[in-house]
Amino acid sequence: MNMKKVLVTGDRPSGKLHLGHYVGSLLNRVKMQADHETYIMIADVQALTDHFATPDLITKNVHEITRDYLSVGINPELSNIYIQSQIPEIAELTIYYMNLVTVSRLERNPTIKTEIAQKNMEDSILVGFLCYPINQAADITILGADIVPTGEDQFPMIEQTNEIVRKFNRIYNTNILKECSCLVGSTGRLPGIDGKKKASKSLGNAISLADDSTTVKEKIWNMFTDPNHLKVNDKGRVEGNVVFTYLDIFHENKDEVSALKDHYQKGGLGDVKLKSLLYEDIESVLTPIREKRQTLTNKQVIDVLQNGTQNARKKAQSVLHSVRNVIGFNY
């Protein structure tokens, strides 16, 4: 019997993966796949909750995201990469969970609240969107997840998942569902290049893993620094300066970063110098990823998705079978 802990995670394919995903969760997934039973979901159904009218934005990215995964070192021998919409059992489980969650609890979910505000949806909240945390609870529990490696913004989803698990087990007097824990990358949240709180494809402020060198350079050159640092000799601010935030994460030599910070604060250190350094650091992350991407064929990508989806579905079917039994739907 396989006693490895189960790791379940995923991303919406409504945009390409970027450096925020890389430091927030991809590195953890790559590291952990060797000694965990790993499932990585491409959450196309969830992406539809805010892109239902433009599904091609989602579908055309499914293969791209798979390429991103494989290029950063997700190994299809160790990790199952699968597509949410191809596992209808998740939708069925979502329906059962809907009886266990109140509308007001969903409205209080901090991630949902932020997204509603961001999209100015306050007066027209769609049921599908409001319920996506329930769908995500089904994603996670239908594979018996122990650990969910993901970005910091997903904490509220895990909390809500565990509430559903406890309620289900209590009401149906069972222990078939497991609580899980969230695992966030050690570097925390990566800000956008514009200084906004979070790098995100939809805000157009992220460096994608698939960006070419010219695009990366352009983005770094446009990065938000200190708007009052106009001349090299001006004293500069380090707090809120995105170039330093990125150097803290991507520059290996931490002593050098703190020396640069001192210099910048005293005056005499130009932005271009810092940006050139950061460009080298980010290129050294992205170059091997680009090289790996070059080697992937379409057939490989399709095979990986087919295999991963088949494995995930088998497991989902068995968990759903237990759920139906517990409810009594076994006529």
Residues contributing to the site for ligand TRP (CB under 6 A) = 8-12, 41, 43, 46, 136, 139-140, 148, 150, 154
Q: Which is nearer to ligand TRP, 6 or 257 (CB)?
A: 6
Q: Which is nearer to ligand TRP, 148 or 177 (CB)?
A: 148
Q: Which is nearer to ligand TRP, 7 or 289 (CB)?
A: 7
Q: Which is nearer to ligand TRP, 32 or 277 (CB)?
A: 32
- Least Å distance, CB 149 to ligand TRP, is 8
Q: Which is nearer to ligand TRP, 158 or 277 (CB)?
A: 158
- Least Å distance, CB 154 to ligand TRP, is 6
Pairing of the two strands 79-83 and 5-11: unpaired
Q: Which is nearer to ligand TRP, 153 or 281 (CB)?
A: 153
Q: Which is nearer to ligand TRP, 50 or 226 (CB)?
A: 50
Integer Cα distance of 159 and 108 in angstroms:
12
Integer Cα distance of 154 and 133 in angstroms:
10
Integer Cα distance of 215 and 207 in angstroms:
8
- Least Å distance, CB 266 to ligand TRP, is 41
Q: How many residues does the chain have?
A: 331
Q: Which is nearer to ligand TRP, 119 or 273 (CB)?
A: 119
- Least Å distance, CB 150 to ligand TRP, is 5
- Least Å distance, CB 148 to ligand TRP, is 5
- Least Å distance, CB 14 to ligand TRP, is 9
- Least Å distance, CB 21 to ligand TRP, is 8
Other CB atoms closer than 10 Å to residue 40's CB: what's the count?
Answer: 25
